[in-house]
Structure 1
Amino acid sequence: MALMLPQDFMFLAIESREHPMHVGGLELFSPPEGAGAEFVRERYQQLLDTPEVADKFRRRPGTPFNTPRNLFWTTDSDIDLDYHVQLSALPQPGRIRELFAMTSRWHSSLLDRHRPLWEAHVIEGLEDGRFAVYTKVHHALIDGVSALRTLQRVLLEDPEAVGTPAPFAPQTRKQKAGKTAVFNPLGLAKAGADLVGDVAGGVPAAARISWQAVRERDMVLPLRAPRTMFNVPIGGARRFAAQSWPIERIREVGKATECTLNDVVLAMCGGALRDYLISQNALPDEPLIAMVPVSLHSLVAESNGGNAVTSVLANLGTHLEDPIDRLECITNSMRQAKRMLTGLSPLQAMAVGAFMVAPLAFAPFPGYVSHAPPPFNIVISNVPGPKKPLYWDGARLDGIYPLSIAMDGLALNITLTSNAGNLDFGVVGCRKSVPHLQRILTYLDDALVSLEQRVGKETA
């Protein structure tokens, strides 16, 4: 058995029927020219014929119940790929609408804790001839960044290449089935020394952050977000919608306003949420606050648990009507958040992120979400994706649409990733608490158009 990281255990401990804690992705492919009707089923069979499964995808909790044994991973030696990998066909007429409806149902169901915590669904029957793959993996096993990296390792830039390995296959042959972690006292001592140093350094770091909060009075702090229709107890059913936008359009707005691409993305989301809440007669006077995950994978080696992220809080400027004023508000807020993380070690940065989201640990307690102030209103995550077109045995990857987590107090989630020349947005929400969720896609486009028009007027 291998010991879990604390955050991985947390993702398992807070899961319930109403709160599935898996992350997912919907990949959309165009078959190569001349591919026959059997192409999709051949790809499915190729996945079933995978001779070996990586250790990470053979893990399950020590027990299916929330007990102390869940502190450890059990590694299964035999994997039933017929269970984990399934072939499905869309109901007619096979539109994107039917694809999203089917994906919404899959994303609403819990993973079986008696088995390794992942599934893959190959989907045929789209009316335009394309096919899709929906995958979901428990957040205790892997985070969004790691999931995308796993996908990119197996898809290829060469459209003529064949024999692409499965995402759940081992990267190398060094890790064999049945192998377990070995206790290393020297490694443990080094980790303990690093921890002591991080904790000691955390005292002046905390003092610096506190002084920054006093000096910059408009800095976003936890538990200051207004209560909205998103910050309510939720049910277990989900609704999913997705759309792509050209990166160049968003980048041009950033260049004209001297802000980052991510700031423009947050401005799109802020504008969309403002319009959506106005349509529901539910826009608060105070601005919405977003929790924005920040990857630390460039600073730390990928852990066995696969999670290495922190988080910051951003003012979305939803109280401002003018899109440029809203963008300036967001840019200032994100600069303050980045200054807060400057000079912190990865462990200290993760501790800051844990402090930001700590109130969510009380969300499962009856009445907490209804009476306590929300720590923030929504999670908006931008996960780096492939910069060049990728292929699966000649089938071009057209889109990677992330599906993240909704939970009590956070009924809506927006996650996006880059894919060659596009940004692919995935919007997930509680089916009951967020009515007409698909309209958010229209409002996202309206927000981008409004920014482009305002930038055009100022530069004309």
Structure 2
Amino acid sequence: MPLMPVTDSMFLLVESREHPMHVGGLQLFEKPEGAGPDYLSDLRRELIQGENIRDLFRRRPTPPVNTMGHLAWSTDQNLELDYHFRHSALPQPGRIRELLELASRWHSTLLDRHRPLWEIHLVEGLRDDRFAMYSKIHHALLDGVSALKHMQGTLSDDPADRDCPPPWGSRHPRNGKRNGRAPLSVFGTARRTFGQLAGIAPAAFRVANEAFREHTLTLPMQAPKTMLNVPIGGARRFAAQSWPLDRVRAIATNAGVSRNDVVLAMCSGALRDYLIEQRALPDEPLVAMVPVSMRNRADAAEAAGNNIGAVLCNLGTHKPDPGERLAVIHRSMRDAKRIFKELTPLQALLLSGINVAQLGISPIPGVVANTRPPFNIVISNVPGPRKQLYWNGAKLDGIYPASVLLDGQALNITLTNNAGNLDFGVTGCRRSVPHLQRILTHLDTALAELEFATR
């Protein structure tokens, strides 16, 4: 009965009907050549009969789930794969619109804590004869970076490879090591922790100097109140679209900034236009929380749990010129990353905790309505596959992340690169964010404006 780290337990403690705490994703595939009408039903039947199951996907909260379930994990030795892996079909006419509406409903429902905390839906009925998979897994089990790394580990760059593991399996099972890592010495871990804690005071001084004397850092509670920073309900809307990575890369090269800066500028332009459309743009610039993975590349594929930091970025939405917004974003991210690099991992996590601390008390009645938000929106850029991948011969066409929302944070934009594309997933509170799909139109407009501004 392994105890949960506090970072994992937190996602179970704050979950409620209005705040499901799972990360999700929608993947689109082209069927392999020669696939017949029973291809998907045969595929599902074959997969649920297999025995390749990562230990992580057997993990469930320890009973009783309302007490010990917040503190420790147990192992489900009788995992019912036919419950967790479900086969569905779209209503006619089988457009992407119907697929996104179905994914929105699935993303709105809580996972059953009496079972391992994940579901995967295999979806047929798209009118272009593609198929989809919508998957969700509790944030207490995996963060978004690790979830995407795990998914990539089940795929292949060879279209002829028919030995890909199921979404809950592993291509390279590790024996004798938990999550692929050797046990750590308690005393060694404690020694390193105390050493890093000893550096908290000078680290805090550096951060305070940057924030208050040099005025280079964006701090929590500087964000304006907007229509996106309100109490939310449990129902979700989900929208998704892809853009060529080459367009973003060209803007970054011309402007001398990073591709992530360009992505943030796309989101900034889209948010500005959306809020103008809703007659709700504040005079002060919006602030984004940008998650940063604290894992090294070797650990990410097999690691469980959560190991993410957070920096705050000034989105420059008060500036009408897209080039000026990009410059504001570049400076804000450059200064935040510079401070992050000077801190130890523990110190960086503590700074991240300061950036997001108010979210822990956001469910308390009156907090969201009567305080400024720590930031206005979460924008996350998760590393994805750099080349074309396949799953048992089926070509991966798109990966669209669906993330979590909290009280005071009614909108989330998460994206990932997929071969030559950037795949955006936009998750919003169904009640608080009207016409969510309009944000996709504004993202497209913002990209075109950045191209014009950086020629």
TM-score, scaled relative to structure 1: 0.95
TM-superposed deviation, 1:407: 1.4
Once structures 1 and 2 are overlaid, which stretch shifts more, 55-64 or 147-156?
Answer: 55-64
Q: List per-residue Cα deviations over 1:280-319 (Å, max 9, x = no partner).
A: 0000000000000011112784586431110000001110
Describe the superposition over 1:403-453 as per-residue Cα deviations: whole angstroms up to 9, x where unpaired.
Answer: 001110000000000000000000000001000000000000000001111
In the alignment, which residue of structure 1 is the partner of 2:392? 393
Which amino acid counterpart does residue 8 of structure 1 have in structure 2?
D
Q: Which moved more, 1:200-209 or 1:283-292?
A: 200-209
The partner residue of 1:253 within 251, 254, 260 is 251
Where do residues 207-356 of structure 1 align in structure 2 (5 Å cutoff)? 207-298=205-296, 301-302=299-300, 305-356=304-355
Q: Distance in 2 between matches of 1:333 and 1:180?
A: 36
C-alpha spacing 1:344/1:414, structure 2 compared with 1 (3 Å) = same
> Which residue of structure 2 aligns with residue 445 of structure 1?
444
> 2: CA distance between counterparts of 1:418 and 1:391?
15
For the 8 Å contact 1:103–1:240, the answer to whether it is kept is yes
Match of 1:429 in 2: 428
Q: 2:118 touches 2:138 (CA, 8 Å); kept in 1?
A: yes
After superposition, the C-alpha distances for 1:50-104 in whole angstroms (9 at most, x for unaligned) are 2132111111111364425521111111100010000000000000000000000
Instruction: Show structure 1 runs of 5+ residues with no match.
Output: none
- 2:91 corresponds in structure 1 to 91
Distance in structure 2 (CA, Å) of the matches to 1:173 and 1:263: 37
Q: Please name the residue that 1:136 is paired with.
A: 136
**CA displacement, residues 315-344 of structure 1 (integer Å, 9 cap, x when unaligned):** 011100000000000001101101111221
Structure 1 window deviating more from structure 2 (343-352 vs 383-392): it is 343-352
Letter in 1 for 2:241: Q
Q: Secondary structure of the residue that 1:2 maps to in structure 2?
A: coil
Correspondence for 1:113: 113
**Contact kept in structure 2, 1:75 and 1:180, CA below 8 Å:** no
In the other structure, the counterpart of 1:100 is 100
CA contact (8 A) 2:52 2:165 kept: no
Match of 1:17 in 2: 17
Question: Which piece of structure 1 moves more, 158-167 or 211-220?
Answer: 211-220
Distance 1:286 1:400 in 2: 34
| 2:172 corresponds to 1:167 | no
Q: Deviations over 1:359-390 (max 9, x none)?
A: 10001111111111100000000000000100
Distance 1:300 1:228 in 2: 40
Are the equivalent residues in 2 in contact too, given 1:8–1:305 (CA < 8 A)? no
Whole-Å Cα distance in 1 between the matches of residues 12 and 231 of structure 2?
Answer: 19
> Which residue does 1:202 correspond to in 2?
200
Higher alpha-carbon deviation: 44-53 or 10-19: 44-53
Measure the CA separation in 2 of the matches of 1:215 and 1:239.
42
2:297 and 2:444 mapped to 1: Cα distance?
A: 34
Q: 1:170 to 1:64 in 2, by over 3 A?
A: farther
Contact 1:50–1:169 (CA under 8 A) maintained in structure 2: no
Would the aligned equivalents of 2:223 and 2:373 in 1 still touch at CA under 8 Å? yes
Identity in percent:
57
SS at match of 1:132: strand
Shift of 1:175: 4.4
Distance in 2 separating the partners of 1:300 and 1:317: 35
C-alpha contact (below 8 Å) 2:25/2:401 kept by paired residues: yes
Aligned to 2:161, what secondary structure does the other structure show?
coil
Which letter does structure 1 place at the counterpart of 2:367? Y
Pair 1:311–1:180, CA change in 2 (3 A): closer
Structure 2 CA distance for partners of 1:90 and 1:69, relative to 1, 3 Å:
closer
Q: Residue 230 of structure 1 aligns to a residue in which SS?
A: coil
User: What is the CA-CA distance between 1:42 and the residue it aligns to?
Assistant: 2.5
> How far apart in 1 are the matches of 2:299 and 2:126?
40
**Offset, 1:171:** 4.7
Find the aligned partners of 2:105 and 2:115 in 1 and give their Cα distance. 20
Tell me the TM-score normalised to structure 2 length: 0.96
The Cα shift of 1:172 comes to 4.2
CA distance in 1, matches of 2:336, 2:148: 25
> Within 2, Cα distance between the matches of 1:94 and 1:329?
42
How far apart are 1:180 and its partner, in Å?
11
Match of 1:419 in 2: 418
| Cα pair 1:300 1:346 within 8 Å, conserved | no
How far apart are residue 213 of structure 1 and its match? 1.3
Deviations 1:222-259 (A, max 9, x none): 01100000100000000000000011000100111000
Q: How many residues align?
A: 454
Asked if structure 2 preserves the Cα contact closer than 8 Å seen for 1:47 and 1:85, the reply is no
User: Deviation of residue 215 (structure 1)?
Assistant: 3.0
Q: Secondary structure at the match of 1:141?
A: coil
SS in structure 2 at match of 1:382: strand
Alpha-carbon contact 1:4-1:305 (below 8 Å) kept: no
More deviation in 203-212 or 81-90? 203-212
CA–CA separation in structure 1 for the residues paired with 2:307 and 2:251: 30
Matched, 1:403 2:392: no
CA distance in 2, matches of 1:180, 1:244: 33
Change (3 A) 1:173 1:324: closer
- The one-letter amino acid of 1:162's match is R
Letter in 2 for 1:399: G
Distance 1:261 1:248 in 2: 10
Give yes or no for contact 2:165–2:171 (8 Å, CA) kept in 1: no
Distance 1:53 1:180 in 2: 13
Indicate conservation of the 8 Å contact 2:22/2:139, yes or no.
Answer: yes
Q: Deviations over 1:121-172 (max 9, x none)?
A: 0000000000000000000000111011111111000001112111212454
Structure 2 counterpart of 1:75, one-letter code: T
Question: What is the CA–CA distance in structure 1 between the aligned matches of 2:169 and 2:15, rounded to whole Å?
Answer: 27
What displacement does 1:354 show?
1.2
CA-CA distance at 1:349 after TM superposition? 1.1
**Mapped partners of 2:341, 2:211: distance in 1:** 14
Distance 2:274 2:99 in 1: 24
